[in-house]
């Protein structure tokens, strides 16, 4: 070990960067804050620190909702820091999120944040300096998340995230749910009524990222086997595959008579989530959009490749292992498979869940007046 390496490993990072400088960054916010009654929660979404993904954003929003409940807070503000000229950092994101397409991802981010029923205001700052000025003037109004120590030192707050949800459930005996707008839920029911055409819809999400963590991707031939099996056995189901259009372009082999691609209809992330929430049940590979089902106890699901999907993430999942009881999970209708999907496992889990679900109850809940199919037309308003 040379001197430069020794200096960085033994002094710079563990002592100076993570202790001395980190403590100074933290204290300058504390001593700069005025005293006052804290009436709101401020969630800070720093695009250069956070994972810019559907799952990370959904879980961040849900954690804000839980924290607001803990503190008896009725309103949540969210501060987004993003320089459109350099929106993200890290090779995983800079290769496909750029200054030219960032506004597309920003619009998706807003749709995800809008699922929080306690959301009051969203602020957009181009730099940390702009947010610092805002904090200096308004910190006395807010509880802040992530904690100021994390914010000041650009640290992620995702460590121990699932443990946080577990402990919250154990304390309060429920996990609050982000809410899809009523009009979007109605849209999903109208979508099923028109395009499922009397068949029972099963929502499917597949991970097909061509750039990163390819080992986590879905096995298309395995899912094709499930769809083909159900077609041959004449199951009265239609598989509705949700996901990004560019990823699903790789899945042309899945275009069978009992399969619909939601990307063919140019829908947004809220509508994709609504299809999962309103389907008969959900099946998918562990990926961001699966958080909606996993962090609920009311959406029947089978999620595969779960452990592999978490490896390499910042979430501490050491307690989350095969056989462990997840407090909020409904063990009758919700199942995690920690290994890669196989034809045998998918078919077995599909048949098992299909037999258990009360289909008449689902049909009664999904039924709408045929006239309401007009909501499928832009801008998804009822005449």
CATH number at residue 237: 3.40.50.2000
Chain centre to alpha carbon of residue 207? 13
Closest by alpha carbon to 155, among 46, 57, 288? 46
- Give the C-alpha separation, 345 to 304, whole Å: 9
79 in a structural domain: yes
DSSP-assigned letter for residue 324: P
First to last CA, the chain: 72
Pick from 318, 135, 281: which is nearest to 205 by CA? 281
Per DSSP (E only), the strands in 126-263 are 142-145, 200-205, 237-242, 259-261
Same domain, yes or no: 148 and 241:
no
Answer yes or no: do 150 and 190 share one domain: no
Instruction: Extract the runs of DSSP E, i.e. beta strands, from the chain.
Output: 40-46, 76-81, 119-125, 142-145, 200-205, 237-242, 259-261, 281-285, 301-304, 334-336
By C-alpha distance, which of 165, 111, 53, 120 is closest to 274?
111
Look-up of token digits 């807003």: 110
Q: Are residues 276 and 341 in the same domain?
A: yes
Domain span holding position 96? 33-158
User: Token pair for residue 330?
Assistant: 């409904």
Cβ contacts of 122-125, under 8 Å, gap ≥ 24: 122/77, 122/78, 122/79, 122/80, 123/77, 123/78, 123/79, 123/80, 124/80, 124/82, 125/79, 125/80, 125/81, 125/82
Q: In this structure, is the dihedral angle defined by the CA atoms of residues 57, 272, 296 and 258, taken in order, positive or negative?
A: negative
Residues 250, 328 within the same domain: yes
Q: Are residues 192 and 271 in the same domain?
A: yes
Domain total in the chain: 2
**Close Cβ partners of 337 (under 8 Å, ≥ 6 residues apart):** 302, 303, 304, 305, 306, 345, 349
Instruction: CATH number of the domain at 126, please.
Output: 3.40.50
Q: Would you list the DSSP string of 13-74?
A: IIIIIIIIIHHHHHHHHHHHPPP----EEEEEEETTTS--SHHHHHHHHHHHHHHHHHHT--
Chain center to CA of 348: 27
The β-bridge relationship of strands 200-205 and 237-242 is parallel
Joined together, the tokens standing for residue 9 give 């490993």
In this structure, is residue 3 part of a structural domain?
no
Residues of the chain with pLDDT under 70: 1-36, 90-95, 307-319, 379-383
Read off the pTM. Answer: 0.86
| Domain shared by 224 and 266, yes or no | yes
- Please check whether residues 143 and 41 belong to one and the same domain: yes
Question: 205 and 154, same structural domain?
Answer: no
Q: What is the pLDDT of residue 36?
A: 56
Asked if the structure places residue 17 within a domain, the reply is: no
Same domain? For 231 and 105 the reply is: no
Nearest 10 degrees: Cα torsion 287, 252, 373, 110: 40
- Inside any domain, residue 53: yes
Q: Do 249 and 372 fall into the same domain?
A: yes
Shared domain for 189 and 304, answered yes or no, is yes
Q: Using one digit for the tens of pLDDT, what is the confidence trace for 125-143?
A: 999 999 999 999 999 999 9
Place of tokens 């078919």: 347
Beta bridge partners of 119: 76
- Predicted pLDDT at 164: 92
Residues 72 and 210 in one domain: no
CA distance linking residue 290 with residue 282, whole number of Å: 9
- Between CA 177 and CA 150 the distance in angstroms is 26
């Amino acid at each position: 070990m040379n001197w430069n390496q020794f200096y960085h490993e033994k002094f710079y990072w563990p002592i100076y960067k993570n202790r001395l400088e980190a403590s100074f960054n933290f204290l300058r916010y504390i001593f700069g804050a005025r005293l006052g009654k804290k009436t709101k929660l401020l969630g800070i979404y720093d695009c250069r620190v956070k994972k810019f993904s559907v799952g990370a954003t959904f879980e961040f929003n849900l954690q804000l909702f839980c924290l607001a409940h803990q503190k008896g807070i009725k309103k949540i503000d969210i501060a987004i820091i993003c320089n459109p000229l350099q929106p993200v950092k890290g090779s995983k994101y800079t290769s496909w999120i750029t200054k030219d397409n960032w506004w597309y991802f920003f619009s998706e981010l807003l749709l995800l944040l809008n699922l929080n029923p306690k959301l009051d205001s969203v602020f957009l700052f181009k730099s940390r300096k702009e947010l610092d000025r805002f904090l200096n003037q308004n910190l006395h109004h807010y509880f802040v998340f992530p904690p100021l120590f994390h914010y000041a030192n650009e640290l992620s707050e995702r460590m121990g995230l699932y443990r946080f949800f577990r402990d919250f459930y154990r304390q309060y005996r429920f996990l609050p749910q982000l809410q899809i707008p009523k009009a979007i839920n109605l849209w999903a029911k109208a979508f099923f009524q028109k395009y499922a055409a009397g068949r029972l819809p099963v929502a499917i999400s597949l991970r097909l990222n061509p750039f990163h963590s390819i080992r986590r991707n879905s096995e298309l031939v395995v899912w094709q086997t499930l769809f083909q099996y159900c077609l041959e056995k004449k199951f009265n189901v239609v598989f509705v595959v949700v996901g990004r259009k560019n990823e699903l372009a790789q899945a042309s082999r899945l275009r069978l008579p009992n399969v619909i691609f939601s990307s063919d209809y140019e829908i947004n992330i809220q509508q994709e989530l609504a299809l999962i929430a309103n389907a008969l049940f959900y099946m998918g590979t562990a990926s961001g959009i699966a958080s909606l089902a996993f962090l609920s106890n009311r959406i029947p699901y089978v999620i595969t490749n779960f452990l592999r999907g978490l490896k390499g993430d910042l979430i501490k999942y050491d307690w989350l292992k095969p056989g462990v009881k997840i407090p909020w999970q409904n063990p009758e209708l919700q199942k995690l498979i920690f290994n890669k999907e196989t034809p045998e496992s998918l078919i077995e889990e599909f048949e098992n869940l299909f037999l258990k679900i009360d289909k008449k109850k689902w049909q009664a809940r999904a039924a709408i007046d045929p006239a309401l199919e007009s909501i499928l037309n832009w801008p998804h308003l009822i005449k």
